[in-house]
Structure 1
Amino acid sequence: MRFPTLTEKIKVNELNVFVSVGGTATEQQEAFVRAVEDRLRSEGLIPHTVGRNTFSADAPLKTVTALLDQCSGTVVIALERKYFSTGIERRGGLKETFLADVKLATPWNQIEAAMAYSRGHPLMVIVEHGIYKEGLLEPGYDWYVQSVKPEVASLTTSEFNGVLSSWKQKLSKPQARPAAKNPAELTIGELVGGMKAAQLWSFLAAIAALVAGAFALGATLHGG
């Protein structure tokens, strides 16, 4: 079976959304993720997850970066990846704390959520009940964190429907970036206007040095 490449998968005339979710470990997790994907499609949204339904020959982080740039929003599905019956937080310190029944999600949830937020993506965060909430999976940021049981019924509640509707209204198709012009075709004004402040000062300093050198050379030749 041949999976479509990243370029083949993304269509600019569709409302594409990035889904951050790790590889599923159980049938229950897989059924839940599929249900979320189906729900998104029923809303006219196209879900994309690197390594799940979107693939590239590039390194994972590079693929995630390219995919996020072509999506309008991000859904984070944080499911149990690691489980510890007991543990200690800040071991040996004054704030040492004993932990029990610790469930941790994949760190990629944190990485991809941060990358999405830095791009201004509206975030919809779905966290499995009992997952240790830290970082971007904690409530209190610019998005609402839903704590749910990983089952299909969780996607039919008034809470989920309301959050999905609110999040969807914030989505907008990414603006296409204008193609870069050939430097040889640019006018002087366009070249200067496109420079950053540091580049402009370096350019002006180089011009000043060139003019000063020309005057010095002229004076030397004239004097000779």
Structure 2
Amino acid sequence: MIPHTVGRNTFSADAPLKTVTELLDKCSGTLVIALERSHFASGTEKRGGPKEITLTDVKLPTPWNQIEAAMTYARGLPLMVVVEAGLKSEGLLERGYDWYVQWVQLEASALHSTEFSGVLASWKQKMAQTSKKVFPSKTASDLTVAEIIGGLKPTQLWSVLVALATLLAGAFALGGKFFGAQ
């Protein structure tokens, strides 16, 4: 598993949404970690309506958590959602969908709990299964010449080119020896 986070270890000149889209096309699953981004000491929900509610101590995550969860789900990729305890539970960060939402306290011990370890292991297993379906491994006989050459490191490519040049020079020398003196 190699974690990718747009703006931290994955960068692009494109708009963030396009970068997330391209990144998800290359991934086997998504782990959404929803942490407090905004805090409101007080506020009103459904203001002016018959179901108006007074809110206090509201903590909200970034909207990107909702976007990334939705895009992952739409692609049918494994989704693990970890939410900081105390955040407002709404949208795709609520329990009751096709994925497990794990609420945790922001302390190291939360990552060592039996529940967290079990959910993480299950998610990793789903990712491995998805990875095999989405990115089936090819055998050497399935690869094209372009794929083989494209997969070589620069030093390997130079070694192959030198070997081919040597082989061609040897073939011309032998051809000249046997067929050149006629």
TM score, norm. by length of structure 2: 0.70
Q: Distance in 2 between matches of 1:101 and 1:155?
A: 25
Shift of 1:168: 1.0
Identity %: 69
What is the aligned partner in structure 1 of residue 107 from structure 2? 151
TM score, norm. by length of structure 1: 0.58
Please give the per-residue CA displacement for 1:172-217, whole angstroms capped at 9, x wherever unaligned.
32337xxxxxxxxxxxxxxxxxxxxxxxxxxxxxxxxxxxxxxxxx
Q: 1:93 aligns with which of 41, 44, 49?
A: 49
What is the aligned partner in structure 1 of residue 75 from structure 2? 119
Where structure 1 has 5 or more consecutive residues not aligned to the other structure, the ranges are: 1-44, 177-224
Q: Does residue 140 of the first structure (1) align with residue 100 of the second (2)?
A: no
Partner secondary structure for residue 85 of structure 1: strand
Matches for 1:60-71 after TM superposition, within 5 Å: 60-71=16-27
Q: Does residue 169 of the first structure (1) align with residue 120 of the second (2)?
A: no
Please give the per-residue CA displacement for 1:97-125, whole angstroms capped at 9, x wherever unaligned.
01111000000000111011111111110
Shift of 1:69: 0.4
Where structure 2 has 5 or more consecutive residues not aligned to the other structure, the ranges are: 137-182
Structure 1 segments, 4+ long, off by >2 Å, are none
Q: Does residue 50 of the first structure (1) align with residue 6 of the second (2)?
A: yes
Letter paired with 1:61: L
What is the aligned partner in structure 2 of residue 78 from structure 1? 34
Q: Distance in 1 between matches of 2:107 and 2:28?
A: 26
Matches for 1:141-220 after TM superposition, within 5 Å: 141-171=97-127, 172-173=130-131, 174-175=134-135
Aligned length: 132
What is the aligned partner in structure 1 of residue 61 from structure 2? 105
Partner secondary structure for residue 48 of structure 1: coil
Q: Distance in 2 between matches of 1:66 and 1:129?
A: 31
Shift of 1:127: 0.3
The CA RMSD over aligned residues, in Å, is: 1.0
